[in-house]
A = this chain, B = another copy of it.
Amino acid sequence: MHVIVVYDTAAERNPRILRTCRKYLHHVQRSVFEGQLTEAQLRRFQMAVEDLLDLSYDQVLVYTFPPGTTPHRHEWGATKPTPTTIL
């Protein structure tokens, strides 16, 4: 399924969150990741991310879509190079 992830975590935890997101998804903006995951991959990703979070502060938003549904992405403003496309 298609997945969009946006994280809002304290600066000291950002590098590890970033690394974990990159293992599973494409990096599309500073704190935004996107890609296709199976249910099993999503569960593994969730466990890996939740291990890193401080539950009193950090938040990760995850949008999932029914199979076959892909959002249209528009980029307004600067066109930045995609940091990585690892999957």
Interface set of A (CB-CB < 8 Å, partner B)? 4, 6, 8-9, 28-32, 46, 49-50, 53-66, 69, 71-80
Contact = CB atoms under 8 A, between A and B. Distances in A.
Oligomeric state, in number of copies? 2
B76 A65 contact: no
A56 B29 contact: no
B76 A4 contact: no
Closest 4 A/B residue pairs (Cβ): A63-B71, A62-B74, A60-B76, A53-B77
17 contacts: A4-B63, A6-B32, A8-B30, A32-B61, A46-B76, A49-B76, A50-B76, A53-B76, A59-B76, A59-B77, A59-B79, A61-B73, A62-B74, A62-B75, A65-B69, A65-B71, A69-B69
A31 to B, nearest CB: 8
